[in-house]
Amino acid sequence: MILLLLLSLCATSHAAGQTTSVHLVKQAEDGSVMNETTVTYEWMEENLPVYGDGIVHYYHQGPVFEGDKWDLNETTNFKDKGAVKGTDIRDLCDLVGGASQGDDVMIHASDGYHVEFSYTNVYDPQQRQGPIVLCWYEGEAGYPPDYFAGMCLVFFADDCIFGNWDMHECLPVKSQHFFGDLSPSTNGLSVKWVDEIRIYAGGYTGDAGGPAKSMPTSASAVTSAPESSQVPGFGVVSATIGLLLAVCISRRRR
């Protein structure tokens, strides 16, 4: 029964995280919240500029294991993000006061995964990078929850491919993603299931990549988890399930 439960969890974990709204937060250097709001994808589509037409496909690049790992000419291992439409991260940041030089912007997913970008990459990107877009629609799937990866981060590069060498040329080292700490992969920057965008005044100083708790909407939203009754062997089972889910998540981020 435990084995069946583990297999079921691994098989269904991919369908557990689709998001339909995003929490926007601007955080001061002392950690206090300066401004915050939450918007749905319906609101974004109706009130902010829409990027993408639901016809043209956009691509990121996975790791290259043979030859030049940076693959300057963009020849292999493209990850199709679909015919997506979405909202520029810059426009969303502006809803809570915007970012300034020296600030960082965190994109946070419902499973705890997160990436951080500098002010320049969000507000003044090179053409080969393009705007960083929070996508809430895909031409074949539609909107979340039918859009499996939604809401998903996609770089709208000028040639529709955000390759590994584009990342090398556009993003500072601290924002670049490497699979296995060795092989560059822009696919790791295409965050699925985005639920929160945080502006860090003065820059982000926490750990990169790794799970980070979502910020509550207000102090009153912070509650203590109820104590659970102890079941013999439950701790071992929980640890095993957690390990298996971690493996599943790691494979998704490749």
| CA–CA gap between residue 70 and residue 53 (Å, rounded) | 29
**pLDDT of amino acid 205:** 86
Task: Find out whether 164 and 64 touch, Cβ atoms under 8 Å.
Answer: yes
Residue 91, judged by CB atoms within 10 A of its CB (0-12, 13-18, 19+), counts as middle
- Cα Rg of the chain, angstroms: 19
pLDDT in tens, 159-187: 999 999 999 999 999 999 999 878 999 99
Helix (H, G, I), strand (E, B) or coil at 184: strand
Here the tokens at position 144 are 């979340």
How confident is residue 235, by pLDDT bands cut at 50, 70 and 90? very low
Residue 15, judged by CB atoms within 10 A of its CB (0-12, 13-18, 19+), counts as exposed
Which uninterrupted H or E stretch holds 6? helix 2-12
pLDDT in tens, 142-156: 999 999 999 999 999
Helix (H, G, I), strand (E, B) or coil at 93: helix
User: What residue ranges do the domains of the chain occupy?
Assistant: 15-215
* pLDDT (average), residues 113-125: 97
| CA–CA gap between residue 198 and residue 200 (Å, rounded) | 6
Helix (H, G, I), strand (E, B) or coil at 231: coil
Mean model confidence pLDDT for the chain: 83
Task: Find out whether 33 and 199 touch, Cβ atoms under 8 Å.
Answer: no
**pLDDT of amino acid 167:** 98
Architecture of domain 15-215: Alpha-Beta Complex (3.90)
142 DSSP β-pair partners:
138
* pLDDT (average), residues 209-236: 39
* pLDDT (average), residues 3-12: 41
